[in-house]
Structure 1
Amino acid sequence: MFSLFRENIRIAFDSIKGQVLRTILTILIIAIGITALVGILTLVGALENTISGDFASMGANTFNIQQYEFTTRNSREIDKVNPIINYRNVRAFTDKYEYPLTNVSVSFTGTQSAEVKYLNEKTDPEVSVLGINEHYLDNTGTELEKGRNFTFFDIENNSKVCILGSDFKKNLFKDLDPIGKTVSVRGVKFKVVGLLESKGATFGNNQDLRVLVPLQVARSIFTLPNINYRISVKVNDKQLFEAAQDEAIITFRNVRGLNPIEDNNFGIERSDDLLNRIANITSYLYIAAWIISIITIFGSSIALMNIMLVSVTERTREIGVRKALGAKKYTIAGQFFMETIIIGQLGGLIGIILGVLIGWLITLIANFDFSTPWLAIVSAATISFVIAIISGLYPALKAAKQDPIESLRYE
């Protein structure tokens, strides 16, 4: 039995070598379908990793108080214009909100086009400067590579200290240790006390090219009107999360002076809600990817079956000779079936390699978080094998049923 299987493989490879052009075209047709499947699933997975990682930086067990709800803020039509969250709102909230086991962080973006100087070196004017308090790093899940966080006294005493993103270590300090060095932002000198771990860039927003400075110092540097602040509350005990959020809503409604029948004129953004929304969105993307890929693969299977039927017709005389020499039906069927399997697997292998490479290149260009698409690879290998079985079954049976006398007469 094993010798017959090995003989069928040898005959299949001989046949493939004898029809190189047709085999290459068939393999390419299958490879295109598998490439579409693997490439799209790779991109969707990278997009999911990127978005999840970006929003997960919000931190665990946290919620934000901001101008709009997440869904409203991203919709084209906003029926109600909410007032910004100004410093007076922030100050009143932090003074009144005293729920146990919670930390409140306050932050705002002063500019996204600052220039940072160190000695004779300076950066391009593309640095983001954020004013923060001492709870910002913990509430947003931001880690320090070295150095320390701001203290309560740094914030209250307007200390001229700062924390830098990881990119400054490479471009401004030329791999020197930045801790203890003095940099200049908008003409104000800051002592570097911390360096953030690398977080990469998401949709053009470089998380590693930013400067964090104490909140009050930032307010004295960036005096533009209508600065929109962001409040983030972290609940250290998950069981108190809902109660802490309800208390925050009540407190901020009082800050805004809303009466009981008025709707909130601010939004609440929860970390778990964001991740759930992302999961829902990417599930639709996965469904769309599978539909597109299955249509492409269905076309590939039809093409493979058609080409194998043509091959059976062209080799009718060969089939007759083999039967005349004593070949059984299952031997003939096994020969053509094995040939189809080999072509299908070669197409699947090439498609997987091309799909992963294309997905990797696009994720590299788009700065997405690439991860090996094992689900796509296993799915593609399984599908290519199933395609070969389905596409090769009918041509193999047709070849096995050929009449040897009529086959020998075929010209």
Structure 2
Amino acid sequence: MWIVISENIKIALEAIKGQFLRTVLTVLIIAIGITALVGILSVITALRNTLEGNFSTLGANTFMVTRYENNYRAEGSGTTQKVHPYLTYREAEQFKQQLASPFAKVSIALNVATSAEVKYENKKTDPLAVLMGIDEYYIANSGLEIAQGRDLNEFDLANNSRVCLIGSDFQNTLLKEVDPIGKTISVRGFSFTIVGILKEQSSSFGNYENFQVLIPLGIARNAFVVAQPDYQLKVSVDNKDKLDAVVADATLLMRSLRGLAPLQENNFGIERSDDLLHRIGNITNVLTIAGFLIGMITILGSSIALLNIMLVSVTERTKEIGIRKALGAQRRFIILQFFTETLLIAQIGAVSGILLGIGIGWGISKAAHFVFTIPWGVIFIAIGIALFVAVLSGLYPAVKASKLDPVEALRYE
């Protein structure tokens, strides 16, 4: 049987060489379909990796107290939404003190500026830096790490020391070829000594996670004017089994701090990190299904093209088929011959499409700063689809060829 298969492969390769231009066009059509499928799903996979990586750094045991619930829709969405008050410093400080426990750590942060200009000696950055005031638990609760130097300590916070932590991007711009530790930078007229550098974070969608300056919360409150300060509360729990209980305690505490009656709705939101990951998963699943459908529609067109080309091939080689049948070739060998040819063309197109799709996916992911990984699952799906295309497009022409009458086939010109 192996001899028959190898012989059919040789015949198929000779046929492909004999109609090279037609084969190239067919392979190109199939490759476009596979490229669309692999490319789209590669980018979606990279997007999922990036989003999940960004949020998973927070851990599964954290939650945030925010101004609005996570399903809040902004003004202009067509619905009327009650405006919730900002989280004040009094509320944040009382929340931190009253929720404090051996297994729950509360951090307070304040976004002072999102477009600050940072200066070092005679150099300065574009006004893109994020300036935040933080406390002793912010780094751990936000999933950040110190790459060099140290974190802000209790002395810094208690004495409002003019020290700061900076993002990794400053080493590539403002402080290039300089050891940043101990250097003094200036932000909006206030000088800070750098004591630590944050580990590089995965950055996407134009966010500047690596271009931020973190200073003691007291300095941020007293030195910088914020029109409507909205404090951020993050809570980490040392055991996931205790998370539900801590969330319930946090909800009751915030209701009490805001003076809400038992029947009044919450005028704040609780966002759990595992809920964020779940929502991300749902969104990327929808995108994956949409990408798969787009790719399948393209592949359906390539299947029809391959079917037509194989039917033309059968018609052009009618006399050859008649000679083979006159020499005793059985129907199953005729079917195998044409099916092998279709299978080879489909797999050449699949391999070409996979390589192009991965290349396009990698290029887009690189440009968008996504975390790209080779989507092996998508590759195996593409190979399986190419096999299905070969069966769908090659079986009918092969069966048609096997049913030709040898006498009529020999007379065909």
- Answer yes or no: is the 8 Å Cα contact 1:67–1:84 preserved in 2: yes
Q: 1:281 aligns with which of 263, 280, 283?
A: 283
- Which residue of the partner structure matches residue 4 of structure 2? 4
DSSP-derived class of the 2:143 partner: coil
- Which residue of the partner structure matches residue 61 of structure 2? 61
- Answer yes or no: is the 8 Å Cα contact 2:70–2:271 preserved in 1: yes
- Which residue of the partner structure matches residue 292 of structure 1? 294
Distance in 1 of aligned mates of 2:25 and 2:137: 61
DSSP-derived class of the 1:291 partner: helix
Q: Is 1:145 aligned with 2:147?
A: yes
**Cα distance, 1:74 vs. partner?**
6.0
Distance in 2 of aligned mates of 1:166 and 1:22: 54
- Answer yes or no: is the 8 Å Cα contact 1:93–1:251 preserved in 2: yes
- Answer yes or no: is the 8 Å Cα contact 1:54–1:202 preserved in 2: no
- Which residue of the partner structure matches residue 253 of structure 1? 255
- Answer yes or no: is the 8 Å Cα contact 1:337–1:392 preserved in 2: yes
Matches within 5 A, 1:142-221: 142-221=144-223
Distance in 2 of aligned mates of 1:103 and 1:164: 23
DSSP-derived class of the 1:124 partner: coil
Q: Which runs of no fewer than 5 residues in structure 2 stay unpaired?
A: none
- Answer yes or no: is the 8 Å Cα contact 1:200–1:206 preserved in 2: no
Q: Is 1:234 aligned with 2:236?
A: yes
DSSP-derived class of the 1:141 partner: coil
**Cα distance, 1:220 vs. partner?**
2.3
Which amino acid in structure 2 is aligned with residue 51 of structure 1?
L
Q: Is 1:262 aligned with 2:264?
A: yes
Distance in 2 of aligned mates of 1:352 and 1:311: 26
**Cα distance, 1:177 vs. partner?**
2.2
Which amino acid in structure 1 is aligned with residue 91 of structure 2?
N
Q: 2:135 aligns with which of 129, 133, 136?
A: 133
Cα distance, 1:60–1:35 mapped onto 2, change above 3 Å: same
- Which residue of the partner structure matches residue 36 of structure 2? 36
1:23-52 alpha-carbon deviations (Å, 9 max, x no partner): 111111111111111111112111212222
Distance in 2 of aligned mates of 1:324 and 1:172: 82
RMSD: 1.6
Kindly, what percent of the aligned residue pairs are identical?
Answer: 52
- Answer yes or no: is the 8 Å Cα contact 2:54–2:202 preserved in 1: no
- Answer yes or no: is the 8 Å Cα contact 1:86–1:226 preserved in 2: no
**Cα distance, 1:4 vs. partner?**
2.3
Higher alpha-carbon deviation: 173-182 or 225-234: 173-182
Q: 1:393 aligns with which of 392, 395, 400?
A: 395
DSSP-derived class of the 1:72 partner: coil
- Answer yes or no: is the 8 Å Cα contact 1:72–1:78 preserved in 2: no
- Which residue of the partner structure matches residue 307 of structure 2? 305
Q: 2:246 aligns with which of 240, 244, 267?
A: 244
**Cα distance, 1:73 vs. partner?**
4.7
**Cα distance, 1:84 vs. partner?**
1.0
Distance in 2 of aligned mates of 1:282 and 1:200: 18
Q: Which runs of no fewer than 5 residues in structure 1 stay unpaired?
A: none
- Answer yes or no: is the 8 Å Cα contact 2:117–2:126 preserved in 1: yes
DSSP-derived class of the 2:71 partner: helix
1:252-275 alpha-carbon deviations (Å, 9 max, x no partner): 111111111111100000001111
**Cα distance, 1:296 vs. partner?**
2.1
Distance in 2 of aligned mates of 1:359 and 1:11: 36
TM-score normalised by length of structure 1:
0.96
**Cα distance, 1:384 vs. partner?**
0.6
TM-score normalised by length of structure 2:
0.95
Which amino acid in structure 2 is aligned with residue 60 of structure 1?
A
- Answer yes or no: is the 8 Å Cα contact 1:31–1:350 preserved in 2: yes
Which amino acid in structure 2 is aligned with residue 403 of structure 1?
D
Distance in 2 of aligned mates of 1:197 and 1:250: 36
DSSP-derived class of the 1:54 partner: helix
DSSP-derived class of the 2:72 partner: helix
**How many residues align structurally?**
411
Distance in 2 of aligned mates of 1:336 and 1:244: 67
Which amino acid in structure 2 is aligned with residue 251 of structure 1?
L
